[in-house]
Structure 1
């Protein structure tokens, strides 16, 4: 019987996921070295729409994967469903991975898709607030969107606001400095031997300004993949600029736990929703 319930749950979960409407981000994908037919479906960015009728707030969700894959289930679809339960509309971004063979400039490809995701939401909806939430390398991309919103890498003829109203970064890659970066993410995005200009541009703790949105951070102290110093450095930068922020940290949990840290009964998402209810202060 337990097996049957498990199978039924998986079937329903897959059906729910597949039932979400998938929106094409671009009419013509920018920064490509190939035609769309040559790119293949796995290299075409899309937005999965989880809409809640009457919702006045929404979140753009960016899964992680070290810029080498997109962990779209436990850091994407499952998270969108949790936000739906709380009355938020949610949009899961399947973004392009940085590849020289597909892109003219691979380092800006993911940021283009994140900016386009925010642009798309604001073009088609009238939410009071639209935030961004990212995990791991997706956290780096969410932080990039949160700090490089004025440096549009896409066409923006209607001057849509690309700045998120709040930012949620879960075990995020923040710095591209070799002492603390996740080397796989750095290598995939800008190259292991990237120059100082690119390292500085993509080190998000160095890009924080007074216009960076309020931020909620989540990290485990024993994370060996993306060390917690990434979140600590970002929090320090936010504090220096007077940006409201909160760091929810676990003693244990490692990396990649998604919504549920199996080593700790506390729920970071419960704390997040309380923080958002209080206005992100």
Structure 2
């Protein structure tokens, strides 16, 4: 899809301008929330070359699966249409697309998310873990969906501190 190629072009552009912008070209990641989490995870599992592979992924309450009963219905319809084939559903169910070359991940969500079922994140975590991809997942008991960086999210301080610690100490970058 066009959105995925746009995301790949963004990674390519960041790496091409890394020196000029003072960025390490081997430490370029992707972050997305909800449906944007599906795009970030798509880039992390469906990238077309090492040049466009992110070095890490940060996912907030992401849509991952396109399987009915697990997915977010609106995201599924917007991405796949009204009557997708089983092949299309499988292609965009990212828990099925994880490989040992998928980038390390930080995932955060709320257990009571009524919009995007937690099974999206849990299934993706299990797939990453099975492929021995480093993954850190944080599930908070309440918060629902869409809290992002909102100050009134009960666990904002906890999750942002965990993310900062992971970025500082937990991310292991490959020698390229």
CA offsets, 1:98-149, max 9 Å, x none? xxxxxxxxxx021121111111111221432101000000000000000111
Flag the 1:130–1:265 CA change in 2: closer, same or farther, 3 A.
closer
More helix by share: 2
Flag the 1:265–1:212 CA change in 2: closer, same or farther, 3 A.
closer
Matched length: 166
Flag the 1:135–1:212 CA change in 2: closer, same or farther, 3 A.
same
* RMSD (CA atoms): 1.5
Q: Which residue of 1 aligns with 2:87?
A: 197
Deviates more, 1:241-250 or 1:122-131: 122-131
CA offsets, 1:154-209, max 9 Å, x none? xxxxxx71011110010000000012100101101111311111111111100000
Query: Quick check: 1:110 aligned with 2:3?
Result: yes
Q: Which residue of 1 aligns with 2:105?
A: 215
Flag the 1:181–1:265 CA change in 2: closer, same or farther, 3 A.
closer
Q: Which residue of 2 aligns with 1:227?
A: 117
| TM-score, scaled to structure 2 | 0.89
CA offsets, 1:19-60, max 9 Å, x none? xxxxxxxxxxxxxxxxxxxxxxxxxxxxxxxxxxxxxxxxxx
Extract unaligned runs of 5+ from structure 1.
Answer: 1-107, 153-159
Q: Is the 8 A contact 2:149 2:156 kept in 1?
A: no
Flag the 1:211–1:265 CA change in 2: closer, same or farther, 3 A.
closer
| TM-score, scaled to structure 1 | 0.57
Extract unaligned runs of 5+ from structure 2.
Answer: none
